[in-house]
Structure 1
């Protein structure tokens, strides 16, 4: 049994359907990439997994339990953390305050989780009392990922973690993703950066206009011309 199973889900915004028969799975310990162009349905898939949206058909199962209709707060308690596109940090609060907010489900492990986050992102510890809004874009992304890790998740959902970052910071973010996975957290990564996503992933899926079109190992997808075509609308 996979840690996460998305089984033939349809998803709509009001009367507008945006996902059709989408399926994917993530095994414990893996990093899996969900690839596709802007507007392909990647973010909608993550929002459905984390409880922001409810599928109109199909199931989302975590450790075999159907969580498709579960509220976001309960999904976090089950062991899933979502780092959304756009970071959504609290800019007027300090770095440490932002991180502590990520541990709201279980504050008993907060000091231990802070140590883990600071080990992965030393810059956050150096600037723990600094207002989050004064950080660079890359540092804000590190803070958003760190806040997600504060709930001690079994599965981390990352939505466009590298979007808008300078190349040197993109490298830092993907190195952090590798470390997070090596330390035992399973990762589902939504990305437009094909090269880096497939470099750190074990397997991947390609979604196009709300439908899954390809899946395979990272090595297979890296050699498949259809992956790049899906970004070009071909």
Structure 2
């Protein structure tokens, strides 16, 4: 489904990604792991549009998308849930979800019902301003808004960042359900424990390069991953 093929990425004259390759097959959840500053978010931004690789290519369903901007990528079936949520604080939950369907309004109410089934608290607060939600509810809204475009692939960037442990569990349970219902997921995470719990495979990014890859089980058992990220 998604192929990232030997990309380099730079911010101006400063290169931050070197020769990164990864793939995501239809129906998988794939985790992109690494410490803060490793380049994980940069890889996502290269896939979904704000950044253009300086070398290599990115293909989605066999079509090159490496030079496209976000408003061109979303209609192809990719949605990006960014770090920091970026919800519209003055708008209601209902309005935020409606805005998520801007590229695909057909079946919008069916998709809204699906979001409310996954996140019942959002339905309870549908008329409430998004800025008055708790941090966990805002993260649920950000994910729900992403689902409103009916994507084939969701890019999730640090979905658990800053959440209380009980809410982290809720968010990862929701990610697992979203995948089980047929949406492919590429998950960027510092919470390696939970990421490997829900992922099929993973890649570890260090200083802008892929240093390890394998099944979730292989990575969880790898001494290097345990030493660096799992407290081993």
Q: Do they fold alike, i.e. is TM over 0.5?
A: yes
TM-score by length of 2: 0.98
2-side partners of 1:9 and 1:93: how far apart?
A: 38
Unpaired stretches in structure 2, ≥5 consecutive residues: none
Q: What secondary structure, in the 3-state scheme, does the structure 1 residue paired with 2:58 have? A: strand
Report the 3-state secondary structure (helix = DSSP H, G, I; strand = E; otherwise coil) of the residue aligned with 1:216.
Answer: strand
What secondary structure does 2:95 align onto?
helix
Q: CA deviation at 1:231?
A: 4.7
> What secondary structure does 1:108 align onto?
coil
- Pairs within 5 Å for 1:131-170: 131-170=129-168
What is aligned with 1:4? 2
Equivalent in the alignment of 2:97: 99
Give yes or no for contact 1:10–1:58 (8 Å, CA) kept in 2.
yes
Partner residue of 1:20?
18
Instruction: Give the C-alpha shift of residue 106 in structure 1.
Output: 1.3
Give the C-alpha shift of residue 71 in structure 1. Answer: 1.3
State the alpha-carbon separation in 1 of the partners of residues 108 and 166 from structure 2.
30
Give SS of 1:28's match.
coil
Taking the aligned partners of 1:187 and 1:95, their CA distance within structure 2 comes to 23
Task: Give the structure 2 partner of residue 226 of structure 1.
Answer: 224
Alignment check: 8 A CA contact 2:220 2:226 kept: no
1:38 alignment counterpart: 36
CA distance in 2 between counterparts of 1:35 and 1:228 reads 12
Q: How many residues align?
A: 230
Segments of 4+ moved more than 6 angstroms: none
TM-score, normalised to structure 1, is 0.97
Residue in structure 2 matching 1:87, options 85, 103, 106: 85
Residue segments in structure 1 that go unaligned for 5+ positions in a row: none
Q: 1:228 deviation in Å? A: 3.8
Residue deviations 1:191-227, cap 9 Å, x none? 0001000000000000000000000000000001212
Contact kept, 8 Å, 2:192 with 2:229, in 1: the verdict is no
Residue in 2 aligned with 1:198? 196
RMSD over aligned CA atoms reads 0.9
- Give the aligned partner of residue 112 of structure 1: 110
- In the superposition, relative to structure 1, how do residues 40 and 231 fare at CA in structure 2: closer, same or farther (>3 Å)? farther
